[in-house]
Amino acid sequence: MQQLMALESSVLQFAEAAVKAAATVEILERSPATLRDAILRAVGDATRILFAPPHELPVALFSEFAADSRVVANPTPDEMVHSAAGVTEAFAGVASTGSVCVDVGYERTGVVSLLAPLQIAVVAAETIVPKPRDLFRSDILDGKGLKRDFVFVTGPSATADMGPLVRGVHGPHKLHIIVVR
Amino acid sequence: MAAPVNSADIQPRQVANKSNKKALLDAIRMTLDVQSAAVRLNTQTFNRNRYAATALIGDYNELKDRARQIKEAAIANLPELLRRLEASVQANGGHFYLAKTAAAANQYIRDVLVRHQVKRVVKGKSITSEEIKLNHAIEAAGIAVAETDLAEFILQVADEQPSHIIAPALHYSRERITKLFKRKFTTDLPLDTGEELTRFAREKLREQFIAADAGISGANLIAADSGSLMLVESEGNIRMTMTLPSLHIAIAGIEKVVPSRTDFGPFLELLPASGTGQPLTSYVSILHPPLQSPPFVAPGGTAKPREFHLVLIDNGRSRMREDPVLHEALYCIRCSACLNSCANFETVGGHAFGGETYSGGIGGSWEAGTGTLMNARFSELCTACSRCVPQCPVRIDIPWLNENLRQRMNLEQPPSVAKSAFGAMTGSAEQDRVAPLQKQFFGNYHSFGKWGTRFAALANASMHLPGARGLMESALGVDCRRTLPPFPKKTWEQLYHEERGVKPGTIEPGVVMLADVFTNYGAPERGMAAIRVLRAIGLDVALSPAMPDGRAAMSQGMMETAQRQARALAPVLKRYLDEGRKIVVLEPSVLAMLRFDFKHLLGDPGTQTLLAQNSFEPLEVLWGVAQELRLDLAQIFAARRCPHGTRLFYHSHCQQRTCNSATQTVEVLRAAGFDVVTSSVECCGMAGSFGYKREYYELSMAVGEDLFAQVRRAEEGSGPRTLVASGISCHEQLSAGLGREVFHPAELLASTL
Ligand code: SF4
């Protein structure tokens, strides 16, 4: 019970911080159908969706979504540059900053999470750690935090170089996070 | 005086090198005219956000200690770490190159690019690449370079040097960017919002990313144990630079190496919070290139295996490491907190307060370390107000570095008979007599005070003699438009000793007030007011002999003189401590000497700690006693009895805030029944002697404008407030800017007795 409450509060802290960083957050029960519906809702009428299969979350969780006709399994370079959304898992989240941690060591996760205007990251509630520094500790997430190559993603890309704050620069213009429990 | 220059004609590049003073003065004029508004807006936003973001880090101070320890150990152990790093990079399948000089680094990178027949390079932001002028070297080989960070893109289009270490084009307002782009590109787009400009630049750069065959990035930190890089950014261009092309070259100074990846932890949180004031920036990458994922192949291109080169640059850093002062600069993580919390920087930015590459308070040490000493001349704009010191995540004493640079620049000056006679007469230590007359004048203020008060009538009258101020200006560089505090007929010491029938205080322990030279010769009545106020709550107050503390000399880079003065003063104060008294210091810049700066000067850590822990600002002591004894301050210092009114505008002194001794004054005044509005500027712009100097008068007043505007806003609609300030130079600045009398808080309290 206590564990459950701690989980609840870290998810809430995470969601609050992520929204502050201009991301949108949705919290779902873990099921292939709900996940598919949530992702498809978020992408709207996009005709092409990039997807990098997960390595931590079960592949089966994404099975229904991956079967959608708009998901491009093996994108050509041109498709990679011209897709509306990119979907990846995040192997961890950070409660204090609302960041999601995306492993960019695999096949295409780096580009899928970077090139499309809308980034969707799916993160498991129990992998949310309190602070960024926890990702360098071997005693957290069973040592899985010590990924070889990864990125803390906090909100969409942004700049203040052109005067006022503008969201959406070279990287995604929007970040949608789906927390699964 | 130099012929007046139309500031609109000065191009930033022409004044990047400040080894001659004219460039510095021209740059100040140019930035005040053209860039100041944008610089102010952007740096002050960073500054506000930093205060908010660091307050959210629960263990901020511990994290800073940890960061400092990591950097100290890493720099001490650098040769070993570099060896380990080389092995790690090679084990990952990358190439490692340690470049002794800028030229060697450029040569290596050019060779790699030529070997790969690279035609187009995309670059992420790297200030180190600016230091070595990498773009020139690459372009000279016929290879196109695209800066992809939007700020760097602006600079590349404008051909200007960076004006800030993390937001290098922050001197550009949106309107000026629009004008620039319209001039340089043919486009029908309106480009008159941030969104449109961003979209325009993004589309141009997308093409570059797709077509590029090499990416060059910097690195914020590098771990020796694994070869991991940490890269902090918001735009996503650095990720593109490292992910898309098959060839990736990362360049960084050797000081970026830390032992292990675990050491990234504290910096990961401190760097973004201290810089832009975000908990984290949009993207923080932790990578061990070469990446295992395949590179992006442009439509129609051919796949190539990934290749990675780490180029580490020495270029003077090993010499800095051996330098007893400059080695501190190697701890710098380039967060920019010291730029954004600096009132002078906020007003002119890095095109004036900066050199060819580096800017701000820490910039002088970097220009001196990687270039030549005279490149650091702009560090004169550091007034040692100390506001940057508590902001620095690795606890670098930035003013101390600048004062030492000043000393070194003084020593480069040719000696002259006039300077050394002037120095001998006024009390400069032997070595400091090469310093310019102006510096020796301000550095030896106590000598002038001593003579001036002895012949007060004559001295004050002579200031009013026709031509006398002109002489002060031409010989000593004291600006004609400033009033130096008139010499009083009697010093604080004399007034104190003439008092009769004073009853000893009733509370233990008593205090001794340090008769600092500024109050003793400049505002003795203020000193007496402070004594009366402390006595009013029952404290026994003694007064120390008037002795210089080293502040004035140190701020002019006269380090020998400062050291001699500090070492003479310390035992005198120590005797009072032995008697069981606490030390009370009226002038905050002198309090900061005892709290912080003596650690550099005394060479006696025991005494220094004792002095630091037992010296206080007068109202800090008063508030402490009042809390402890539950005194009713509204009774003792009833505000309604104050002849100057009860509505106040209070400006605390910069060093007083660094000492954490400012809020107590507001508490006391409010408890006494005053209605207090406080300023929120980092510094009034006077900063000791800085604003008195002829060449900095305009800058000083421009800095002050923020404070004057705050006063005007506080009074809007609700009528005037009495001006109150704790520092003697803040008094001069406020009264110069607003033409009104300014009081010390102790004077107001004393007036209610
Ligand atoms: S000196 Fe300190 S505050 Fe200034 S940029 Fe370096 S790390 Fe930041």
DSSP B102-145: HHHHHHHHHHHHHHTT--EEEE---HHHHHTTHHHHHHHTT-EE
- The CA distances from residue B702 to B21, B173, B628, in Å, are 20, 19, 43
Count other C-beta atoms under 10 Å from residue B663's C-beta.
15
B193 interaction partners in chain A (CB closer than 8 Å)? 164
Distance between Cα B65 and ligand 1 center (Å): 14
Distance between Cα B375 and ligand 1 center (Å): 19
The answer to whether the beta carbons of residues B339 and B109 sit under 8 Å apart is no
Residue among B198, B285, B298 whose CB faces A77 most closely: B298
- Distance of alpha carbon A26 from alpha carbon B371, whole angstroms: 53
Please state the atom number of ligand 1 nearest to the C-alpha of residue B395: 2
- The CA distances from residue A138 to A145, B142, B222, in Å, are 7, 47, 19
Tokens of B478: 């004291």
Q: Is the CB of B338 under 6 A from ligand 1?
A: yes
Please state the atom number of ligand 1 nearest to the C-alpha of residue B274: 8
Q: Is the CB of B563 under 6 A from ligand 1?
A: no
Is B211 near chain A, with CB under 8 Å? no
- Distance of alpha carbon B363 from alpha carbon B329, whole angstroms: 9
Q: Classify residue A152 by its DSSP letter.
A: E
Q: What distance in Å separates residue B295's CA from the closest CA in chain A?
A: 9
Residue B86 has what pLDDT?
Answer: 98
Q: Is B166 helix (H, G, I), strand (E, B) or coil?
A: coil
Whether omega for the bond prior to residue A32 falls within 30 degrees of 0, making it cis, is: no
- The CA distances from residue B620 to B96, B252, B608, in Å, are 56, 46, 20
Name the pairing type of β-strands A118-124 and A174-180.
parallel
Q: Delineate the domains of chain B, giving CATH numbers in brackets.
A: 14-317 (3.40.50.10420), 492-750 (no CATH)
Subunit contact B235:A159, Cβ cutoff 8 A: yes
* Length, in residues, of chain B: 753
Q: Classify residue B503 by its DSSP letter.
A: P
Subunit contact B296:A17, Cβ cutoff 8 A: no
Residue with the two structure tokens 């210092």: B637
* B414: Cβ contacts below 8 Å, ≥ 6 apart: B434
Subunit contact A162:B266, Cβ cutoff 8 A: no
- Distance of alpha carbon B563 from alpha carbon B716, whole angstroms: 47
- Distance of alpha carbon B604 from alpha carbon B622, whole angstroms: 30
Closest C-alpha among B429, B642, B649 to residue B550? B429
- Distance of alpha carbon B166 from alpha carbon A59, whole angstroms: 41
Q: State the virtual CA torsion across B82, B85, B86, B90 in degrees, nearest 10.
A: 180
Tokens of B518: 């500024």
Count other C-beta atoms under 10 Å from residue A13's C-beta.
17
Closest C-alpha to ligand 1, atom 6: B332
Domain with A167, as residue range(s), is 2-180
- The CA distances from residue B712 to B209, B685, B706, B728, B734, in Å, are 51, 17, 10, 21, 12
Q: State the virtual CA torsion across B729, B735, B740, B745 in degrees, nearest 10.
A: -20
Closest C-alpha among B219, B215, B210 to residue B241? B215
The answer to whether the beta carbons of residues B223 and B256 sit under 8 Å apart is no
The answer to whether the beta carbons of residues B544 and B578 sit under 8 Å apart is no
Show the low-confidence residues of chain A (pLDDT under 50).
none
Nearest CA in chain B to A137: B262
Residue among A106, A111, A154 whose CB faces B282 most closely: A154
Distance between Cα B133 and ligand 1 center (Å): 22
A78 interaction partners in chain B (CB closer than 8 Å)? 299
Tokens of B287: 């990578």
Q: Is the CB of B359 under 6 A from ligand 1?
A: no
Show the low-confidence residues of chain B (pLDDT under 70).
1-8, 425, 444-478, 480-486, 688
Cα maximum dimension of chain B: 98
Residue B303 has what pLDDT?
Answer: 83
Subunit contact A166:B195, Cβ cutoff 8 A: yes
Subunit contact B198:A166, Cβ cutoff 8 A: yes
* Length, in residues, of chain A: 181
CATH number of the domain residue A111 falls in: 3.40.50.10420
- Distance of alpha carbon B412 from alpha carbon B390, whole angstroms: 31
Q: Is the CB of B166 under 6 A from ligand 1?
A: no
Residue B1 has what pLDDT?
Answer: 41
Burial of A41 (0-12, 13-18, 19+ CB in 10 A): exposed
Is B282 near chain A, with CB under 8 Å? yes
Q: Is the CB of B332 under 6 A from ligand 1?
A: yes
Residue among B154, B198, B293 whose CB faces A105 most closely: B293
Q: Which of B60, B166, B334 to mutate to test the pocket of ligand 1 (most atoms within 8 A of CB)?
A: B334
Q: What value, to the nearest 5°, has the Cα angle with vertex B385 and ends B380 and B387?
A: 120
Residue among A21, A149, A170 whose CB faces B236 most closely: A170
- Distance of alpha carbon B95 from alpha carbon B260, whole angstroms: 19
**Window 251-280 of B, Cβ < 8 Å to A:** 261-262, 264-266, 268-269, 276, 278-280
Cα B698 to chain centroid distance, Å, stands at: 19
Phi then psi dihedrals of residue B449, to 5 deg: -60, -45
The answer to whether the beta carbons of residues B266 and B60 sit under 8 Å apart is no
Can you spell out the DSSP letters for B598-609? HHHHSS-HHHHH
- Distance of alpha carbon B651 from alpha carbon B729, whole angstroms: 12
* B205: Cβ contacts below 8 Å, ≥ 6 apart: A170, B122, B146, B148, B153, B237
Subunit contact A163:B239, Cβ cutoff 8 A: no
- Tally of domains in chain A: 1
Residue B2 has what pLDDT?
Answer: 44
